[in-house]
Amino acid sequence: MQATPHPAIRGLVATLATLALLLAMDTLRLFGNQQWLQGLIGIETQYFYALTALLAPWAFLTFPSRPWIDWPIIAISIGILGGFFFTAEQALDEAWEFAAPQFAVYGAMALWLIILEALRRAAGWPLCIIAGVFSILPVITEYLPGPLNGLTSSWAETAAYHFLSIESVFGLPFRAFAELVIGFVVFGVVLQHSGGGQFFLNLAFALLGRQRGGPAKVAIVSSGLMGSMSGSVVTNVLTTGQLTIPAMRKSGMAPHIAGGVEACASTGGVLLPPIMGSTAFVMATLLDIAYIDVATAAALPAILYFASLYLQIDAYAGRENVTGLAPEETPSLRKTLAEGWFYLGAFALLIFLLIFLQRESIAPYYATAALLVLNQFSRVHRLDLSAAVDLMYAVGKLLIELVVVLAGVGLIVGSLSLTGLSGTLVNDLLSLAGDDIGLLLFMGAATSFVLGIGMTVTAAYIFLAVVLAPALVSQNLDPLSVHLFILYWAMLSYITPPVALGAYAAASIAESNPLKTGFAAMRMGSVIYIIPFIFVLDAAFILQGPWHVSVQAFAEALLGAWLICAGLQGYLAGLGSLSFIWTRWLIALGGLAIALPELNWVLDNPPSNLMSMAIGAALVGMALISHRLSATTNIPNP
């Protein structure tokens, strides 16, 4: 476990985070039409170099090794980035990304190694190795077999391209971070440090705590909301899970089920608008659309997922007679709102600026300012100087980690761009899958899942957005639905064994078997494995089409999800427990047929949606007959 940093280091990181935040705000002209630093920062790349210098080198402080190693690396990094900052305009005029002078090449090579080491410390060996291998691809590509054989470059040309162009380290993902993500990171951290997490937890307990399985339903709401703002599954599990998991166990829920529910809710939070972590902003930048378009498209899939979690928990609670909390154990709704109304006010301001004014770049800054001002009226969570330093240290550490990860991913994207392999790999995938969209989707799902194991969600998404997404889009699939499809499948490794990091983190709190908790999470969140196929096959589900078609698609999917949950849990409202195994299977399969928009990826002659509904209704009808027969004849469960 990492030791608590020295107060001087905490103060230094907090100061750097404050400077980075002021730099970003000045670039967005939040202090007026005139930029304070306009005379110093003339072009975009200078802003990128300055922001990187304020954050990336300090990964060696927040993830330290030995001072005699760390401080020289920090000094070298700042020196190189400072040199690139002051020569940025000359580099642009003389196209240094293709013909850099010798000193710039040496600086780029040194920075290349430093970024990889920072990536190893911040994100671990898997992402470091992946980024390192891909970053040297332009140098070794001529020696590689067909699919990986591309345009070759020298070490000097590759290094210069990585750090002096806007297609590699400082490409679109970094641009999204610099222009959009920073503000939302700050808002999420401020919300947590000002007591917002506890408020949303109390609010969920007041609204849902007394229902059957109430504590589990509380976890859905509270962990979903906080996960949306934090963007980190494991962090969210370890914070909200400390309260929700013990409450679930107290209500009679098995420990591994309680851990699985928390893991599912925290995973879904990253897919929940309006914030969706940081990946959604990168997606908006890559697709060249407004962030509100991404958030709007992600709304129905996220609602369906959380509704399915609610239905699963309700069915489980009905089958196992899991009770809710007693009235004296739930907080008062009136008192909760009276003590934390300003959190809802700041959240409402954020949504208003995002949705109605569509000012996504400035929205989090105004919402954060409003939250900080209103928070001072709270006697419990009012920030003093020490708390403010802790807050900015948390902001700084998260920003440092993000900028290092995005720089590492930029190395991958830059190599694919320089070698021309991004287009070649797309053609190879299309050649392998032929005209079979279903096979291509399954290949994409499997690839996204595997990369989601070894890389962060943002890193896996960016890589696949470059390599895989164009192949899927070329099959006449909606670009936005394709990118969401990739994001969903990259998230699934958090609840799917053998990795299931979110479930294993929850197991440590629930004191349950990690693998058993992982399978419980997989079962509870089972509908999420289907949702990406629903919206990628029918763009109406992400609101790409007439509203009445979207409503119909959502209603069918919700009905199907309810039946799937009933089949998995063996309990259907109105019928009670489904003791006969074939009844459960028929109901689940019927729900699947109803939920999926079409079956053209299974059958050679694709039926219409009406035919799919008819198949689902027939299966459910057979299940009901089976249930009636088993109930009247007392057929034992196999």
Q: What is the DSSP letter of 28?
A: T
In a domain, 521, yes or no: no
Final residue of a structural domain among 174, 192, 216: 174
- Average pLDDT on 484-511 reads 88
Structure tokens that stand for 253 in this block = 């829920």
Peptide bond into 470 cis (omega under 30): no
Q: Is the pLDDT of residue 73 over 60?
A: yes
- Average pLDDT on 383-412 reads 91
Place of tokens 């967005």: 28
Q: Is the pLDDT of residue 80 over 70?
A: yes
Strand partners, 571: 577
Q: Is the pLDDT of residue 637 over 50?
A: no
Q: Taking CA 41 as the corner, what is the angle to CA 402 and CA 39, rounded to the nearest 5 degrees?
A: 150
Range of weakest confidence among 202-206, 231-235, 398-402, 616-620: 231-235
In a domain, 17, yes or no: yes
**Residue 3 binned pLDDT confidence (cut-offs 50, 70, 90):** low
- pLDDT at 606 (0 to 100): 43
Handedness of CA 363, 366, 372, 375 (dihedral sign): negative
pLDDT digits (tens, 9 = 90+) for 237-263: 887 888 889 888 888 889 999 999 999
In a domain, 383, yes or no: no
pLDDT digits (tens, 9 = 90+) for 586-627: 899 999 989 887 644 343 444 446 777 888 889 888 888 877
CB atoms within 10 A of CB 423: 15
Q: Which amino acid is at 84?
A: F
Residues 54, 23 contacting (CB under 8 angstroms): yes
Range of weakest confidence among 170-184, 409-423, 552-566, 619-633: 619-633
**Rounded CA gap, 206 and 135, in Å?**
51
Instruction: Tell me the CB-side half-sphere exposure of residue 402, using CA atoms within 13 A.
Output: 30
Q: Is the pLDDT of residue 32 over 60?
A: yes
Q: Is the pLDDT of residue 37 over 90?
A: no
**Rounded CA gap, 2 and 11, in Å?**
18
Residues 504, 570 contacting (CB under 8 angstroms): no
Distance of alpha carbon 637 from the chain centroid: 41
Q: What is the pTM of this model?
A: 0.85
In a domain, 218, yes or no: no
- Average pLDDT on 204-233 reads 83
In a domain, 233, yes or no: no
In angstroms, the Cα distances linking 94 to 85, 87, 91, 152 are 15, 11, 5, 22
**Rounded CA gap, 192 and 475, in Å?**
43
Q: How many helices (H) and strands (E) does the chain have?
A: 31, 2
As to burial, measured by CB atoms within 10 angstroms (0-12 exposed, 13-18 middle, 19+ buried), residue 370 is: middle
Q: Is the pLDDT of residue 87 over 90?
A: yes
**Rounded CA gap, 182 and 395, in Å?**
9
- Type and span of the H or E element at 627: helix 609-633
Instruction: Tell me the CB-side half-sphere exposure of residue 576, using CA atoms within 13 A.
Output: 5
SS3 566: helix
- pLDDT at 199 (0 to 100): 85
Q: Is the pLDDT of residue 427 over 80?
A: no
b/e code 110-141 from CB counts within 10 Å (16+ = b): bbbebbbbbbbbbbeeebbebbbebbebbbeb
Range of weakest confidence among 105-114, 196-205, 384-393, 626-635: 626-635
- Average pLDDT on 163-189 reads 89
Range of weakest confidence among 164-173, 458-467, 627-636: 627-636
- pLDDT at 109 (0 to 100): 97
- pLDDT at 565 (0 to 100): 92
**Rounded CA gap, 308 and 304, in Å?**
6
**For helices 291-320 and 514-524, angle between their N-to-C axes, nearest 10 degrees:** 110
Q: Is the pLDDT of residue 635 over 60?
A: no
**Rounded CA gap, 411 and 426, in Å?**
19
- pLDDT at 627 (0 to 100): 72
Most confident option among 22-26, 79-83, 450-454, 607-611: 79-83
Structure tokens that stand for 103 in this block = 């000193």
Q: Which of 55, 279, 42 is nearest to 184 (CA)?
A: 279
Looking at the chain, how many residues does it have?
A: 638
**Rounded CA gap, 628 and 621, in Å?**
11
Q: Taking CA 506 as the corner, what is the angle to CA 65 and CA 255, rounded to the nearest 5 degrees?
A: 145
Full domain range(s) for residue 35 = 7-174
Instruction: Tell me the CB-side half-sphere exposure of residue 278, using CA atoms within 13 A.
Output: 32
Range of weakest confidence among 45-59, 303-317, 349-363: 349-363
**Residue 74 binned pLDDT confidence (cut-offs 50, 70, 90):** very high
Mean pLDDT estimate for the chain: 86
- pLDDT at 602 (0 to 100): 41
Q: Which of 520, 547, 537, 507 is nearest to 597 (CA)?
A: 537
Final residue of a structural domain among 158, 174, 190: 174
**Rounded CA gap, 322 and 257, in Å?**
12
Range of weakest confidence among 40-54, 432-446, 488-502: 432-446
**Rounded CA gap, 190 and 274, in Å?**
17
Peptide bond into 274 cis (omega under 30): yes
Q: Is the pLDDT of residue 297 over 70?
A: yes
- Between 512 and 455, the more confident residue is 512
- Average pLDDT on 66-72 reads 92
Range of weakest confidence among 217-231, 291-305, 343-357: 217-231
b/e code 607-635 from CB counts within 10 Å (16+ = b): eebeebbebbeebbebbeebbeebeeeee
Residues 212, 313 contacting (CB under 8 angstroms): no
b/e code 312-330 from CB counts within 10 Å (16+ = b): bbbbbbbbbebbbbeeeeb
Q: Which of 307, 282, 312 is nearest to 484 (CA)?
A: 282
Final residue of a structural domain among 122, 139, 174: 174
**Rounded CA gap, 179 and 559, in Å?**
40
- pLDDT at 61 (0 to 100): 93
Q: Which amino acid is at 357?
A: L
**Residue 448 binned pLDDT confidence (cut-offs 50, 70, 90):** confident
**Rounded CA gap, 59 and 124, in Å?**
13
Structural domain count, the chain: 2
Distance separating the N- and C-terminal Cα atoms of the chain: 48
In a domain, 169, yes or no: yes
Three-state DSSP string of 196-247: HHHHHHHHHHHHHCCCCCHHHHHHHHHHHHHHHHHCCHHHHHHHHHHHHHHH
- Average pLDDT on 394-406 reads 92
